[in-house]
Structure 1
Amino acid sequence: MQLKRMQKTDWYLVGILILSAFLYGWGIWDAGSANSYYTAAITSMTKSWSNFWYGAFDPAGFITVDKPPVALWLMAISAKIFGVHGWSVVLPSVLSGIGSVYLMYKLLAPKFGLLAGRIGSLILTLTPTVVANSRTNNMDAILVFFLLLAVYILQKAVAKKNIWLVIVSFGLIGVGFNIKMLQAFMILPAMLVYYWVAIKLPWKKKIAWLVVGMASLSIFTVAYPLAVDSVDQSSRPYIGSSQTNSLMELAFGYNGTERLLGQSTGTGGAFPGMGSTKKSTGTQKNNGAPSGKKPSGSASTGKMTGQAPTGQQNGGKAPTGTPPNQSTNKNANQAKGKAPGQSGKMTRQAQGGQGGGNSAFAIGSAGPFRLFQSDLGSQIGWYLPLAILGLIAGWFGFRKRGAKWHHVSEEQSEVLLWAGWFVPVYGFFSVASFFHPYYTIMLAPAIAALTAIGVAAVVKMSAQSNKESMIARIVVSVAVLTTLLLQAYYVWSYYQIISIILIIVAIGLSIWWLLPRQINNKIKIVLSAISILLMAGWWSLTPTLSHNSAAIPAASPSLLSQTGSSDMGGEVNNQLLSYTKKHQGNAKYLFATTDSNSASGYIIKSGKAVMAIGGYNGTDPTMSLSEFKKLVKSGQLKYFVMGNNSKTSSGQISKILTWVKKNGTKVTYSSSTSNQSSPTQQMGGQSQSTTLYDLSNIYE
């Protein structure tokens, strides 16, 4: 009967999918350049197969972005079909977000019923960081979709005892590695435990299939990186953010140990802003950098006072607010390019509850309760108590009656799957030193699934003995109380009255649930559901209402009150662009600059090659001074644009900048600047003094 019902259209699911499409897709026509770092790469990838294959940042294929290109391939295909627009590069993330909601339903409904499937998909839909991530051209929403797809196929492989599905499932984790590298491996423990416990095969065959699955994982993981690294370095782009021009080194360095230890590429030291953030009022470091990258250094300092931390905007048309790490006047904390050691001080209005909001590195204090703190919690923590209690209730509620403790039911194997996803990821975010708040989307599927499983367990327990029914009421009472109190904490910074109401409702509902009445009382259920979803849903709605497609995606009511563009890294000085285009001649590059941040907007607007000699952070050792001189002597490069960020460069890049300053000729490229050779312009999304150097006369 259950299977027959599932074969029919579930209109509740249809409604949830429509809701997700609205939340993730509405207003993306105002996405502007979204994450301009990746949009510049997408622009370049549409120009040649080589750029497409390598994920080149610039049209000349000088350097790549700091991730493998699988997600960018999808975005580039969209851009090739529809043209390079904010909405076209964001579209794959929107579709991935909707697809993840559907997969959540399909993962839960067969084992736990339609109600669990609906609840899981709705919770995932109404998780603030999921909405924010699904509206950008960052890679996280696409990665989560592929991971859920891998788990879904593994579930089918277990049910059908099909080795080919095992191969495909683990192979998809390898594909995930080539989306965002080691982040994809965070759910491997869950898959391995689930496979071993759930599949019913003789142990020898079980091991053999697992070995084949691991082989598939290995092949799909390393095939692309080894293919790239095996190409002569002179015949391909430099691997951005690596120190040895290697994708494998990038995986285990910048995108590996440095994430855990909080190191900065090229320096080996901790970057200001990473690590603990204080919960008391006063000032704090406010450094920002989008899409999982340390800022490159194109910034001045600034102050921001008296405002709740802002959200982050896309640089589009709608007045949608500034990034969480920005003030409305585009101060130094605004962009991808915050220089190491340069920080703006900001007085917070009601510390706590800002939600990863005031800084790209607002990740709270390391420890077991970091994810409950306001910085991360207001993005991912709204349902955390439900998930934790759901894990416990699911394990004990679906145990086999009279079975030994080590006998695991089918439902319990599913609980192990989601617990195996939840615990390692929770552990990483509790101790890691470098990540951005929006990375916590990795926890969202496990939280949604465990919450839904907990509800299914409580319903099952309530229909059994009086003792189990009483336990179910206690579980629900504690779940409602802790969840609403936690949400009141997040809400307090913006809506004190609503926060007080939530506290009163939490106490009232928790007492009501303890009363010896039927647990399926519809009024009680509806009131509890509305209370839990109301403010979490409101936070989730804010990126949609503000048409926000940000490089550092975050959800916050402050998005609704901010105006102005914050196209981080996407701003262009039209006079500089016009001058260099007019005088480029036969040069291969429009101009060179220190970092990708300062180049992205010009690539997007002109479609021309702009060389970012230091990669994203301005620290990549892409070439030596002698190699740079040869480039200039051959006429491939005529101009160099230098900004404040040049002061933070080191190593070979520093030598190149010193040589440019000593030998280049300063150019006045604007009639309005009269005798000024270094007018102020917007580079990397922020105001800074920039100087254009003409290098064409050095070797004449």
Structure 2
Amino acid sequence: MKKKFKIDWILTVILVVALVLYGYGTWKTGSANDFYTSAITSMTQSFKNFWYASFDPAGYITVDKPPVALWFMAISAKILGVSNFSVVLPSVLFGVGSVYLMYRLIKPKFGVTAGRIAALVITITPIFVADSRTNNMDTTLVYFLLLSIWMLQKAVDKKNLFWLMGSFATIGFSFNIKMLQAFMIVPAMLLFYWLSSQQTWKKKIFHTSLAMISLIVLTLSWPLSVDMTSANNRPYEGGSQHNSVMELAFGYNGTQRLLGQTTGTGGAFGGMGNKNSKNGKTSQPSQNKSRNKQMPPNIGKNNRMKMPTNGKRPGNMKQGHGGMNGGGGAFNIGTAGPLRLFQSSLGPQISWLLPFAIIGMIAAFIVYADPRRKWYQFTKKQKQVVLWTGWLIPVAGFFSVASFFHPYYTIMLAPAIAALSGIGLVAMLKALKLFNNKDLRFYLLPTAIITTAGLQAWYVSSYYIWLSVLILIVGITTSIGIIFIRSKKAIKSLIIAGLISIAVAPSFWSLTPTLAKESAAIPTAGPDLLSGGNNGGGIGSGSVNNQLLSYLQKNQGNAKYLFATADSGTAAPYIIKTKQSVMAMGGFNGTDPAMSLSKFKKLVKSGQIKYYLDAGKSGSGNNTIVNWIKKHAKKVNANKYGGNQNSNAQKMPGNMKSGNLPNNKRSNMMGGPQNSGNTLYDLSNIYK
């Protein structure tokens, strides 16, 4: 007989909450990450742009990530039109889908309570909410990684080779979402399969080999198709130094994330944590000292935050403790070390329930052990714990030592924390029931509650002292009550109160991006959003100088490009608004060697480029071209095109707002050079 389908109404409520948190107000937000929105705009115009993830409609240069996540966004934009809602919609849906997958992964193995808790925890993880409201790739990546785990469990349960190959093929597919980040869970998957599979060791070797082949094939299919295509027939691969996807994957998006950024941006970023940093300040690698002068002066600072109107910081907010840094600066990742994830730079985004998950992990290993077996002979449930522990530890280890990443990348930890919280809670409740207060296992749940409450109280103290005190009081009181009170009814109430006390703060932090209608290039969560206004824009100003645009369109003639400029931050708003080609010569930061002087001269001579917009940005990697332009081209009178870019700013199409912060505060907070004004050059008379 087939099992009768039943609706889990609590799960349904959780999914509705997730949909509201991730999706509400996304139609009213700014242009999200306009670096990617520009690419999506271009990708809807031709299959070639779609396949390569071209940043501009002319197919000159790509974004610095693979195209798969952008494919979903481009399809959405093609159907609904380019708007913030259409480009963010896939992330919203993948976010909700991830919540459902968490439930489906945990419930069959540990029961409905564990499944619901896991689904709830990932739903209210602040950075998961913030990231699901953007057109970044991370939420899409998490969904497909969870899907690969689901397929792996199927492979083990059904002893099915094709599920196993599909699982690892999905990892290869995920590589083409955000490259090597997808491989972070592969060791956990291999370990779990070898521990859990009932096949003989010879079959395990054979099956694992086939699985790895499927991974390699799906991993390399797109990158090799690009690298084997003539450079003359495709866009330049943005972010690479030699026009190669493989170099991009293993360099800029690979080793440089761990060791620190050294190419593609003009040196190491001044806000990135490293092992030599103290008090949140980061020393630059010696090999980059000669290039440091090119770097923007305020990278790594939290430029997004506004203080309340009374001029005071909330609570006892101090620079470096929760508040200013807790808002999530672009490269504010704290000090490298084993406790980095608990520091105030990253903790308020991801680590609210990390202590609970860690203690829950330990509890699950202990409670689900079979005393009749040797210590290394794991039970089925212990093997599931190994899987999620294998996800948590390597990923946490990477973020603890890596030198170059954005705080929102820590979304990779959310599934493991959610899974171990759900599994761990059920295990700790079981320990509380089976053992008395003379057994150390009895104290696991009270310890988890009081430890988690203490960490949360520290995070909250930067904003709301009263809430910090309340969390501590409830956490301590309920933990003591659980230990000493004998009434089962009273203990149940105390447990519920204790769990609610450690869910309140992360729930509120998760709500802030929704209340602020935030959809930012650097997603973050926290009360700063409520006092600081909607950040709105992405890598550039998110605004267009309407007078400049009118002048360029009137005088563009037959030129292929509306204008050329140094970097994507300046070009993106104009591409989104006009759907015309704008050449970002050096890609994202203006430092990609995508254009040579001789080639640029040919484009000018043939009339394909008529104007160059100098946005007054430092750090350009095309100084030779810029110097040639300044020497030979004619400056256009500023009165003809409106001068500074902030003037005559106009909203983006499809409810894409320009954001509330002035350009010199919002521009390039992802690491781009700083804007000090615009100068337009007319190149048309150089060869006359």
TM-score (norm 1): 0.88
The answer to whether the 8 Å contact 1:299/1:644 transfers is no
Q: Where does 1:415-434 land on structure 2 (aligned, <5 Å)?
A: 415-434=385-404
C-alpha distance in 2 between matches for 1:400 and 1:150: 29
Give the match for residue 325 of structure 1: 303
Residues 279 and 374 (structure 1), Cα distance of their counterparts in 2 relative to 1, 3 Å cut? farther
The one-letter code matched in structure 2 to 1:649 is S
Matches within 5 A, 1:387-536: 387-466=357-436, 470-515=439-484, 517=486, 521-536=491-506
Determine the C-alpha separation between the residues in 2 that align with 1:87 and 1:111: 37
Deviation of 1:14 after TM superposition, in Å, equals 0.4
Counterpart of 1:376 (choices 342, 346, 349) is 346
- Partners of 2:364 and 2:10 lie apart in 1 by 23
Would the aligned equivalents of 1:298 and 1:688 in 2 still touch at CA under 8 Å?
Answer: no
Following superposition, the deviation at residue 271 of structure 1 comes to 1.8
Give the 3-state SS of the residue equivalent to 1:107 in structure 2: helix
Give distance in 2, aligned partners of 1:216 and 1:616: 33
| In structure 1, C-alpha distance between the alignment counterparts of 2:503 and 2:344, rounded to whole Å | 18
- 1:443 maps to a residue whose letter is L
Contact kept? 1:196, 1:206, Cα under 8 Å: yes
Partner Cα distance (1:53, 1:258) in 2: 26
CA-to-aligned-CA distance 1:279-325 (integer Å, 9 cap, x gap) = 86xx97999xxxxxx9998978699xxxxx9xxxxxxxxxxxxxx53
The one-letter amino acid of 1:78's match is S
Structure 1 residues 325 and 495, CA, compared in 2 at 3 Å: closer, same or farther? same
Q: Could you list the runs of 5+ residues in structure 2 that have no partner in the other structure?
A: 285-290, 308-315, 648-662, 669-673
1:443-485 deviation digits (Å, cap 9, x = unpaired): 0000010111111212333343547x94443001110111001
In 2: Cα distance, 1:24 partner to 1:220 partner: 30
1:181 to 179, 182, 200: 179
Question: What are the superposed Cα offsets for residues 163-209 of structure 1, whole Å, 9 maximum, x if unpaired?
Answer: 11011100000111000000000101110101110111111111111
* Distance of aligned partners of 1:585 and 1:94 in 2 relative to their CA distance in 1, 3 Å threshold: same
Q: What is the Cα deviation at residue 517 of structure 1?
A: 2.5
By how many angstroms is 1:105 displaced?
Answer: 0.3
Work out whether residues 298 and 644 of structure 1, in 8 Å CA contact, stay in contact via their aligned partners in 2.
no
Contact 1:380 / 1:441 at 8 angstroms: preserved in 2? yes
- What do the CA deviations read for 1:630-670 (whole angstroms, capped 9, x no partner)? 0110111000001221x3223xx111011000011101253
Report the alpha carbon displacement of residue 596 of structure 1 after superposing the two structures with TM.
0.7
Query: Is 1:604 paired with 2:576?
Result: yes
- The structure 1 residue matched to 2:231, chosen from 220, 230, 233, is 233
Task: Tell me if the contact between 1:93 and 1:137 (Cα under 8 Å) persists in the aligned partners.
Answer: yes
Contact kept, 8 Å, 1:100 with 1:145, in 2: the verdict is yes
Please point out which of 161, 169, 174 is paired with 1:163. 161
Whole-Å separation in 2 of the counterparts to 1:302 and 1:146: 32
List per-residue Cα deviations over 1:126-180 (Å, max 9, x = no partner): 1000000000000000000000000011011110011110111000001110000
Q: CA deviation at 1:30?
A: 1.4
Residue 676 of structure 2 corresponds to: 688
Contact kept in structure 1, 2:267 and 2:292, CA below 8 Å: no
Shift of 1:562: 2.1
CA distance in structure 2 between the partners assigned to 1:537 and 1:665 by the alignment: 57
Does the 8 A contact of 2:257 with 2:403 survive in 1?
yes
CA 1:285–1:466 in structure 2 vs 1: closer, same or farther (change >3 Å)? Answer: closer
Deviation at 1:692, TM superposition (A): 0.4
Give 1:545's aligned residue.
515
Note the 1:628-667 alignment, pairs <5 A.
Answer: 628-645=600-617, 647-650=618-621, 653-667=622-636
* Structure 1 residues 485-516: Cα deviation after superposition (integer angstroms, max 9, x where no partner): 10001001110121122222222122112115
**1:307-350 CA distance string (max 9 Å, x none):** xx9xxxxxxxxxxxxxx532559xxxxxxxxxxxxxxxxx9735
* 1:200 alignment partner, SS class: coil
Which residue, 239, 247, 250 being the options, matches 2:248? 250
Alpha-carbon deviation of 1:31?
2.5
Residues paired across the two proteins, number: 647
Alignment deviations for residues 82-104 of structure 1 (CA, whole Å, 9 cap, x no partner): 00000110000000110000000
Q: Say yes or no: does 1:627 pair with 2:605.
A: no
* Residue 62 (structure 1) aligned with residue 31 (structure 2): no
> CA contact under 8 A between 2:39 and 2:53: conserved in structure 1?
yes
Q: Partner of 2:658 in structure 1?
A: none
RMSD: 2.7
Q: Of the candidates 119, 130, 135, which is equivalent to residue 121 of structure 1? A: 119
Whole-Å separation in 2 of the counterparts to 1:413 and 1:145:
22
Matches within 5 A, 1:41-60: 41-60=39-58
- How far apart, in 2, do the equivalents of 1:376 and 1:117 lie? 26
CA contact (8 A) 2:350 2:411 kept: yes
1:366 to 328, 333, 336: 336
Task: Please tell me whether residue 83 in structure 1 is matched to residue 108 in structure 2.
Answer: no
CA distance in 2, matches of 1:302, 1:433: 14
Alpha-carbon shift at residue 623 of structure 1 (Å) = 1.9
Which consecutive aligned stretches of 4+ in structure 1 deviate over 4 angstroms post-superposition?
276-280, 283-287, 294-303, 677-687
Task: Name the SS for the 1:670 alignment partner.
Answer: helix
Contact 1:46–1:80 (CA under 8 A) maintained in structure 2 = yes
Distance 1:459 1:564 in 2: 42
Distance 2:427 2:488 in 1: 12
State whether residues 328 and 564 of structure 1, in contact with CA within 8 Å, keep that contact through their aligned partners in structure 2. Answer: no
Structure 2 CA distance for partners of 1:124 and 1:519, relative to 1, 3 Å: farther
Please give the alpha-carbon distance, in whole angstroms, between the structure 2 residues aligned to 1:254 and 1:583.
38
Counterpart of 2:626, as a letter, is: L
8 Å contact kept, 2:516–2:534: no
- Structure 1 unaligned regions, length at least 5: 288-293, 304-308, 310-323, 330-346
Q: Equivalents in 1 of 2:347, 2:51: separation in Å?
A: 38
Give, as a single letter, the amino acid of the residue that structure 2 aligns with 1:481: I
| TM-score, reference length from structure 2 | 0.89
Distance 2:623 2:374 in 1: 67
Aligned-partner Cα distance in 1 for 2:118–2:630: 59
- The one-letter amino acid of 1:612's match is A
In the alignment, the residues of structure 1 paired with residue 373 and residue 644 of structure 2 have an alpha-carbon distance, to the nearest angstrom, of 78
Contact 1:356 1:437 in 2 (8 A): no
Find 1:206's aligned residue among 186, 204, 207.
204
Separation in structure 2 between the aligned mates of residue 31 and residue 437 of structure 1, nearest angstrom: 21
Paired AA for residue 676 in structure 2: Q
Find the counterpart in structure 2 of residue 559 from structure 1.
Answer: 529
For residues 260-287 of structure 1, give each alpha carbon's deviation from its aligned partner in whole angstroms, at most 9, with x where no partner exists.
111232467422111159886xx97999
Identity within the alignment, %: 54
Query: 1:120·1:449 contact (CA, 8 Å) conserved in 2?
Result: yes
Q: Secondary structure at the match of 1:374?
A: coil
Residue identity in the other structure for 2:592: D
The answer on 1:590 being equivalent to 2:562 is yes
CA distance in 2, matches of 1:450, 1:104: 11
Alignment partner, residue 313 of structure 2: none
> Is residue 265 from structure 1 mapped to residue 263 from structure 2 by the alignment?
yes
Deviation string for 1:374-416 (max 9, x for gaps)?
A: 1100000100111110111111111123111221111011000
Q: How far off its partner does 1:26 sit?
A: 0.6
Distance change in 2, residues 1:60/1:180 (3 Å): same
Residue 399 of structure 1: SS of its match in structure 2?
coil
Kept in 2: contact 1:473–1:519 (CA 8 A): no
